[in-house]
Structure 1
């Protein structure tokens, strides 16, 4: 029986995501869909709009067989480590045959060629990248120019800058690169996006982007028609109970408290902090007391919004480069944590337990003491991250500490 993997955030689950699941089944013939989903924090450097259990429920309602959690350390990392962490989890299941991902255009041969250069980093690429970085280009722009330098003869008509300015295309290349790094037999299957662009704020598309839906929620607009009926009900129920939505703009007090524990010197230890950026951050933070405004003030051509948000989130969560090293971050996640599964696909759990090359966690409280390092340490941090997240629920009466230890495995019964 074939299984296809989908790397996702479902922030929130919308019609484009349902289309992706349907296309995955159509293109691969897979019997099962395994979703690797970001937990309570997402790759754009923000808390998710709904908690990981609600978003797991949405995925299962829409037809996913099983949902695995992508640990926060990878979910909030750069595209390279986000992709590597997620692909690594699928590889370690031992049962994933395909990786199906969305991109702005299906140019798989070009993505594969670019991934090979990024993985092998031949001398001409390294030299070109260094040159463009020294000229003041941001990393993404410098990398696009370095790829053009290496691949322009093979692909003379490709505008690399245009091609990889889209986040989904960047991730596509990183997925190919991760598969190469892991020597994985998983077959990549790209699906061209049919929805609005990644950051398109227009709700009038037939399949509006998650960005547009989040913006609509922040403005109290009616966005339920943008979602599949089953997930619209889940979102509506969550909001009515005060279990969302969660917006990063409401976290300013938490961030400025975390920042007060640092000096510019100690900020050097924060993961992904760039040389000199800590001084710019402290200077702007003296007069700006709103998180969104601070991100806008610090962002520039070299340091785009998403990277700044990730750095600020790392400050808030106290994710340091040293902590990453302690957790063997570069080697990939140390466990497979199941958030939920469909009851009729229960046989998939048995296959996973027989084939997985990492510990499979279905009950964290019961299994925690049996885990090795760094799995226990990473999960200890995950518990802390979840507590912080849940503290921002609109309805504080619904908040409980230690949910990672008490929330039961979600079992969807159709």
Structure 2
């Protein structure tokens, strides 16, 4: 335990040295970068110290935001650069907001989304709902979705659920409790997106956000009032899910038939999940299982990205340039991130274990796919 405390303190010190994401609005950045519009529902309360409207506190009221994010032209695939404290923001290298419009309420949010959906042909009014993970600020979660939308060239309306994370490496217990607090807010957001006119909703969640997502699906499965929304869920993608494996089996049993495709991105080199497993006294978490054998009774696809893992290895699908390149092709071709199930395209070795499918992604497969 003493060693774990040292690891956590070291992570905290490193995080303190690096700039954290904040929303800096610079309308001029729109003429420099590529603007991604992110629609946000949040149960974060205001930060009384900084005056920021969306901090780490929990709010019973859901608020709604339209955020324009300028993705800078000079950056590596998967990289997000924040403006340095006390330095002049640089729209050539830094992620900046071009606008932050706090909407008046759920009716205004639905109307704004409806307008975006009407720009797309009937039957192709797709939304990606992203649920951020542990240790995230409001800006970091929203900018991450903008980065994914840009790098994967997603032709979907980008929607983000910003639940109240402490935004601190020592805030794990607070964030775990916030997951339970935030379930109703996520269900309400999915209902809002459906009511606004979405034909298909793909849910993508990272880390502890995966626990929030599956808990919400479990809650919705027992509610007849959610049946209309349930029919529109065209895929669920869990990136590095920080979920106990036994708990996931119980959640899946309560849900019944899982939305398809149901994709789990894993890595055996995920250092954050290895630490989480040790803290909970378990051998592993869902996001670093050794193979599909442990979920073989479920209709899921396990995407093993171990070969692409570097550093912490906790969000390879967003951080790895080579993996983003192949995932971008899959998304463009109508694959896993679009929700039609062709997850094997360009991916790697495919293994079927009872009801589950495992795809072991390799850089060789990625390069082969890029040359086609």
Whose Rg is larger? 1
More helix by share: 1
* Same fold (TM > 0.5): no
**Higher relative contact order (CA closer than 8 Å, sequence separation 6+):** 1
More strand by share: 2
Please report the TM-score for the alignment, with normalisation by the length of structure 1. Answer: 0.25
Please report the TM-score for the alignment, with normalisation by the length of structure 2. Answer: 0.27
